[in-house]
Copies of this chain bind each other. A is one copy, B any other.
Amino acid sequence: MTAPSELDDSFHVFDTTLRDGAQREGINLTVADKLAIARHLDDFGVGFIEGGWPGANPRDTEFFARAREEIEFRHAQLVAFGSTRRAGATAAEDHQVRALLESGAEVITLVAKSHDRHVELALRTTLDENLAMVADTVSHLKAQGRRVFVDCEHFFDGYRANPEYAKAVVRAASEAGADVVVLCDTNGGMLPAQIQAVVATVLADTGARLGIHAQDDTGCAVANTLAAVDAGATHVQCTANGYGERVGNANLFPVVAALELKYGKKVLPEGRLREMTRISHAIAEVVNLTPSTHQPYVGVSAFAHKAGLHASAIKIDPDLYQHIDPQLVGNTMRMLVSDMAGRASIELKGKELGIDLGGDRELVGRVVERVKERELAGYTYEAADASFELLLRAEAEGEPLKYFDVESWRAITEDRPDGSHANEATVKLWAKGERIVATAEGNGPVNALDRSLRVALEKIYPELAKLDLVDYKVRILEGVHGTQSTTRVLISTTDGTGEWSTVGVAENVIAASWQALEDAYTYGLLRAGVEPAE
């Protein structure tokens, strides 16, 4: 089930996505999901994967059984999570402790209370009995040959309330043989300076090997984790994409990236950091959450540049404007086009699209003006690459690319007494010298227009059959100067191998959608290599 890592044991990257991360509101993992995530985390190269609480719920018990059989771990060791024994019994006779051993995990994390009030109010036992529970459970598991980490829950609040007792818990765990004692900011209220001071003191006073588990309630979980490392912690508990209860946990990816790239500390096997962006997105897919576009290092926006001011210098030296080379974490630099953009970003964008504008200053100037004017009217090109490319080509060639000429269209939505709706659209257009009139129905007026356009064009351009609308967004833009509001529509289209976005702006949603549809099909035909022939 487990394989020794090529990394030494002096520093631990410990992932708890499958246990603490799964507490995030909206995440509900099946056993198959957990197995898939475990594979991704092992692929990334973390040292430890906390898989859940075997015995506490059947799903986690099954996960440990199947992981043992189905996964050949290359880097990680699988960890079972559980609690210290209950009060007034021995660890050997505690069912919950036995389930941890039966999970087959070679490493076990035990959660222990270290805040005096929690011992009294939540555990309802004495402070001394809690120390005995920690020592007895650790000794018992160590005697069974397991490696043991102890999570001191609510440690930092406990330390504030009663530092001597909090340290006594650390000592009890450490003296009983715990390999690491993990100080947990369970309610996430700490700031880095506080974490650093407490970790340094506890390390000096107890001599235990310390770890850190930070929650993100102050927005400082990554910094809190690094502050603990600065103070001497050598074990960091994180979750992929920062998933976790309430705001979330310390995010594995920026913590690992900071350790590798800013501290120069080797915490992953060779070459794995470059897989970080892909693995972050893959795990988001498994838990069925849209990957955060603005996540540090791995978000699609993490290395996207918009400001015209910067773009001119980025051309000269990208390192002046990026804190790291995005390739180091498997991400890429992108240039966005917006009305803040100047000439340099348009040139760069052209290059990205394979259109060299470098020589033609007058053309670039015209495109900049056109983009500014259109964005003032409500268009946005940073999210509509395909419409931007069509605009750019139109300026370069003096006229817009046309595969068809629309004479008129009409969309009707009708409510019926039974509450159902009928949507019908008719399109009249010219293509390759032929006048075509087509009508189609749909589940809404835009869908009906889309279908009527396909019906009209599919004989002349069979390539359109491959195209699919995959996303549709509407935004109402408030009127400026007391004029009426306008509507912006963004459409994403795919041909099975790529995806592109187009934009339309008009005084109503149907007309705006129509524009975005026209661009979507025009671009699809351009991509398919079809010659414009009218």
A410 CB contacts on chain B under 8 angstroms: 412-415
Q: Is the CB of A444 within 8 A of B487?
A: yes
Q: Is the CB of B408 within 8 A of A262?
A: no
A301 to B484, CA, bound (A): 28
- Cβ of A302 to closest chain B Cβ, rounded Å: 5
0 or 1 for each of A214-241: is its CB under 8 Å from B? (1 = yes): 0011111011101100100000000000
Q: Is the CB of B474 within 8 A of A476?
A: yes
* Chain A, 294-313, CB within 8 A of any chain B CB: 294-297, 299, 301-307, 310, 312-313
Q: Is the CB of B305 within 8 A of A246?
A: yes
A336 to B118, CA, bound (A): 21
Q: Is the CB of B511 within 8 A of A258?
A: no
Q: Is the CB of B28 within 8 A of A338?
A: yes
A220 to B410, CA, bound (A): 53
0 or 1 for each of A180-205: is its CB under 8 Å from B? (1 = yes): 00000011111111000000000000
Q: Is the CB of B222 within 8 A of A219?
A: yes
Segment of A39-47, A375-383, A389-397, A525-533 engaged in the interface with chain B:
A375-383
Task: Given the known inter-chain contacts A222-B219, A245-B305, A303-B246, please indicate yes or no for A409 contacting B417, CB distance below 8 A.
Answer: no
Q: B24, B322, B340, B507: which contacts A443 (Cβ < 8 A)?
A: B507
A307 to B56, CA, bound (A): 12
With an 8 A cutoff between CB atoms, is A251 at the interface? yes
With an 8 A cutoff between CB atoms, is A332 at the interface? no
Q: Is the CB of A310 within 8 A of B122?
A: yes
Q: Is the CB of A413 within 8 A of B415?
A: no
With an 8 A cutoff between CB atoms, is A142 at the interface? no
Segment of A30-38, A267-275, A358-366 engaged in the interface with chain B:
A30-38
With an 8 A cutoff between CB atoms, is A370 at the interface? no
* Chain A, 394-428, CB within 8 A of any chain B CB: 406-417, 421, 423
Q: Is the CB of B412 within 8 A of A417?
A: no
With an 8 A cutoff between CB atoms, is A211 at the interface? no
A139 to B48, CA, bound (A): 59
A58 CB contacts on chain B under 8 angstroms: 376
A181 to B224, CA, bound (A): 28
- Cβ of A224 to closest chain B Cβ, rounded Å: 8
- Given contact pairs A218-B262, A413-B510, enumerate 15 new A-B contacts (beta carbons under 8 Å): A25-B304, A25-B383, A32-B478, A32-B479, A192-B192, A216-B296, A219-B223, A219-B251, A220-B222, A223-B223, A242-B294, A247-B301, A415-B514, A423-B508, A446-B509
